[in-house]
Amino acid sequence: MIKTYHKTTTIKAEQFDGSRKMAKQYGAELYSNSGYGYAVVEGEPDGDGYVLDTLKGELLVRIGDWIIKEGEDINVIDDDTFKENYEELTVIPKFVADWIEECKNNGISIANSLCSDRRPEKVREWMEYTPGKYKIDLERYHKYQELVAKSWIEGYQVEE
């Protein structure tokens, strides 16, 4: 019986820009200078891109491809495939991240964490009010409730 699965791991990924700095960072060598010859990477007769040495062998990376780090291993996937399979983690303020972690550590459910009476004032204001105005914005409130819930479940990045 076929079942449906959801990827649950987070990854570190960076879109390759073709710069020498980035190539050096990953130890990539310009394909045409690599000495591997055109037959090494099938389907790439023009020889553009860079060759990366990985645990799986040599991989070709082109400008716009994504370099994915999973532990010590590196993988390369094209932009379209990346966008179909991965979504950037949401970005939230530190005080919201602190609230999520406080709730998780103290056994407060996600539902209760979203309850207006429980939330710290700063979190409540961030979710409910239009910046610069002391006016409740219901559209913002609903959007930010979903953002907090998504951050709780899928993980998040703290805004800088």
Say if residue 76 is in the same domain as residue 23.
Answer: yes
pLDDT reported for residue 45: 43
Q: Of the segments 37-51, 88-102, 130-144, which one has the largest average pLDDT value?
A: 88-102
User: Residue 40 — left, alpha, or beta (φ > 0 → left; ψ -120 to 50 → alpha)?
Assistant: alpha
State yes or no: pLDDT of 5 exceeds 70.
no
Report d(CA 155, CA 139) in Å as an integer. Answer: 23
Q: Domain boundary residue among 85, 120, 137?
A: 85
pLDDT value of position 34: 53
> Can you give the pLDDT at residue 69?
86
Helices (H) and strands (E) in the chain, counts: 6, 8
pLDDT higher than 70, residue 115:
yes
What is the rounded CA–CA span in Å between residue 113 and residue 103?
A: 7
Q: What are the tens digits of pLDDT across the range 65-79? A: 999 988 788 899 999
| Number of domains the chain contains | 2
Residue 47 has pLDDT above 60, yes or no: no
Q: How many CB atoms lie within 10 A of CB 26?
A: 18
Residues 117 and 136 in one domain: yes
Given a cut of 60, whether residue 42 has pLDDT beyond it is no
> What average pLDDT does this structure show over 88-95?
93
Q: Which of 43-52, 79-88, 138-147 has the lowest mean pLDDT?
A: 43-52
* Bridge partners of residue 92, in order along the sequence: 158
Domain-terminating residue out of 46, 67, 85: 85
Structure-model confidence comparison of residues 130 and 47, the more confident one: 130
Which domain covers residue 47, as residue numbers? 12-85
Whether 65 and 130 map to the same domain: the answer is no
For residue 38, the model assigns a pLDDT of 43
Where on the phi/psi map is residue 89: left (φ > 0), alpha (ψ -120 to 50), or beta?
Answer: beta
3-state secondary structure of 128: helix
Tell me which of 23, 58, 85 is where a domain ends: 85
Q: What are the tens digits of pLDDT across the range 6-24?
A: 666 778 899 998 888 988 8
pTM attached to this predicted model: 0.69
- 145 SS3 class: helix
Measured between alpha carbons, how far is residue 117 from residues 54, 113, 114, 136, 141 in Å? 52, 9, 9, 15, 14
**2-11, 32-41, 87-96: which has the minimum mean pLDDT?**
32-41
Is 48 part of a structural domain of the chain?
A: yes
